[in-house]
Structure 1
Amino acid sequence: MSNHVLQEKIAEVLKLNRIGVLSTLKDNRPYARYMTFHHEGFTLFTATAEDTHKVEDIEANPYVHILLGYEERERGEAFIEVEATAEIAKNPDDKKKAWSEKIAEKYSSPEDENFIVLICRPTVIRYRNDDEWDAAQEIKF
């Protein structure tokens, strides 16, 4: 599969799947939780609260693993695995990228100091689907 076609397939998974699993490490043990992701290109943004374990985990070890896709048959069996480096957004514009009506119910504004956005910059994205299970394709960044 060409790099361009692979990028299009990954972009389609990102477009159709906002809920995924974010995994971090704490004390050398993995922790996974469901998160809602927004994306700009292949960079992922996800909102959380300042006082969560995932923020502590990322401050100690910024490497994360994200799974998106595969949960709904009508959307196909494709999914992506994202290895990324996560950071806490400092730029107010980055915090706005993960802002939503649901988040507005809990926080006063994107500038609320308790509202944290994690920016996950991929180092590798692997694309998989049931038709080509043994032939995972990947893009390195």
Structure 2
Amino acid sequence: MSEKVLKEQIVKIISNHRTGVLSSIENNKPHSRYMTFYNEGLTLFTPTNMDTEKIDEIEKNPSVSILLGYEDKGLEDAYVEVSGKASIKDSQAIKTQFWNASFSNWFNGPDDPNYVLLQIQPEVIRLLNNHGGTSQELIL
């Protein structure tokens, strides 16, 4: 598979699947939780509260892993594993861009100072179970 086709398939999966698993490092061990993801191309964003342990974890170690795409419909469900670096973004432009009315359950609007986004810059993305084929790896 060409790199262009691989990127297109990865972007399709991450664009069509909002719920995934974010794993960060806590006390030198993985700490995983479900998150909502948005993307610009291959770059992922997930909203969070500034007062959460994941913020502390990422400030100590920005390495994260994300799983997106598996729908539990069978062995051929494609999904991606993303390894990358997370950073905390609190610019008003980004907060407004990704604001969703459902966030009102946790935040007082896009201006809420506790509302931030984690930006995940991928370093390696693996496409797995793509129609039962072998895994493909995109190194960025």
TM over 0.5: yes
Name which of structure 1's ranges 92-101 and 81-90 shifts more when overlaid on structure 2.
92-101
- Identity rate of aligned residues, in percent? 41
Distance in 1 between residues matched to 2:33 and 2:106, nearest whole Å = 19
Aligned: 1:131 with 2:135? no
**Residue 140 and residue 97 in structure 1: after superposition, are their counterparts in 2 closer, same or farther (change >3 A)?**
farther
Distance in 2 between residues matched to 1:124 and 1:110, nearest whole Å = 31
Distance in 1 between residues matched to 2:92 and 2:42, nearest whole Å = 20
1:114-125 maps to which residues of 2 (within 5 A)?
A: 114-125=114-125
Distance in 2 between residues matched to 1:98 and 1:140, nearest whole Å = 26
Paired position in structure 2 for 1:63: 63
User: Unaligned stretches of 5+ in structure 1?
Assistant: none
1:4-83 maps to which residues of 2 (within 5 A)?
A: 4-73=4-73, 77-83=77-83
Name which of structure 1's ranges 47-56 and 95-104 shifts more when overlaid on structure 2.
95-104
TM-score (norm 2): 0.91
Matched residues, number: 138
Paired position in structure 2 for 1:140: 139
Amino acid aligned to 2:77: E
Amino acid aligned to 1:79: Y
Contact 1:23 1:30 in 2 (8 A): yes
Deviation, structure 1 residue 72 = 4.4
Deviation, structure 1 residue 15 = 2.0
User: Unaligned stretches of 5+ in structure 2?
Assistant: none
Amino acid aligned to 1:21: V
Distance in 2 between residues matched to 1:122 and 1:99, nearest whole Å = 22
Match of 2:37, SS state, is strand
Aligned Cα root-mean-square deviation (Å) = 1.5
Distance in 1 between residues matched to 2:78 and 2:96, nearest whole Å = 29
Contact 1:79 1:127 in 2 (8 A): yes
